[in-house]
Amino acid sequence: MLRYIIKQFGLSERLFKSPDFIIVGAQKSGTTYLYNLLVQHKDILPSKMKEVHFFDNNFDKGKSWYLSHFPINIHNSQITGESSPYYLYHPLAAERIYNYDKNIKIIILLRNPVDRAISHINMMLKRHNLEYDENVFCNIDNELMIQTAFEEKLDKKSINKNHIHQDFSFITRGIYVNQIKRYLQYFKLNENLLILKSEGFFEDTSTELIELFEFLRVDSNLDNIDFGVNSFSADYNPDKFKNCRKKLKDFYKDYNNELEQLINQKMNWN
């Protein structure tokens, strides 16, 4: 009720905290686990929901709507943020975030794009109770054509949202270099944009989390962090995706090399 009254009288921009950071992706790279670790910190407050999807699907709802998803601005020393992994892939999100707050901290978590794609496919098979068909779910040329068409429509603002672009972008979401380029137009790497590799994050979570806390300028003490919170992995038969995995490994090779040069960081996915 309080949030409704505040929104009705246009008080959101004064009474709610504005996000200090956003985890923008990538989907199926561990963003949920990362967010759940961050918000355990005594100085990091969670948003009303993890994925607000303002800078992609809900941008037309306005700034007051967005701010209403964050804590009331009482404890000024604390920070807050959200995690919407579609932001990395959406063609307009980077510019929208920058225009909202050019000093906001951007966090990107990148997983081997082959593993990410297989995990994404498996998620959609389970969600919609579908049988795997390689000609449908691992058809590189077909997906590129469809996703390019919808991205152009989103970019030109001829459509506001599209669930095919968001949910069935198994392969194109792994072309990270094109997505990172959009963010580097607006945010400076290692200053207000931090890129982590999922494999490294899960291998040495403590070290990576300390780096994140330092990036967010909060105390890096890990004593009260429960590293077992919401840590889960999907179950599927890897043999089912053997042919798809081989095709994707070849497809991503040049894109991965270009990404490494762009961000001056070895990913070792090839």
CATH of the domain at 250: 3.40.50.300
In this prediction, residues 95-112 reach a mean pLDDT of 98
Residue 20 near residue 105 (C-beta atoms within 8 A): yes
94 upstream amide cis, omega within 30 of 0 = no
Residue 247 included in any domain: yes
Residue 269 included in any domain: no
In this prediction, residues 47-70 reach a mean pLDDT of 96
Question: In which domain, by residue range, is 142 found?
Answer: 2-263
Residue 210 included in any domain: yes
Note the pLDDT of residue 270.
83
In this prediction, what percent of the chain has a pLDDT beyond 90? 88
In this prediction, residues 35-56 reach a mean pLDDT of 96
Residues in the chain: 270
pLDDT at 61 over 80: yes
pLDDT at 246 over 90: yes
pLDDT at 12 over 60: no
Residue 9 included in any domain: yes
Residue 138 included in any domain: yes
pLDDT at 148 over 80: yes
Global pTM value: 0.93
Ordered alpha helix ranges (H), the chain: 2-8, 12-15, 31-38, 63-67, 93-100, 113-127, 134-137, 140-155, 163-167, 176-184, 198-203, 205-215, 242-263
Domain count, the chain: 1
Residue 105 near residue 194 (C-beta atoms within 8 A): yes
Other residues' Cβ atoms within 10 Å of the Cβ of residue 158: 8
Tell me which of 13-17, 197-201, 202-206, 220-224 is least confident.
13-17
Which two tokens mark 261? Answer: 């040069």
Residue 270 included in any domain: no
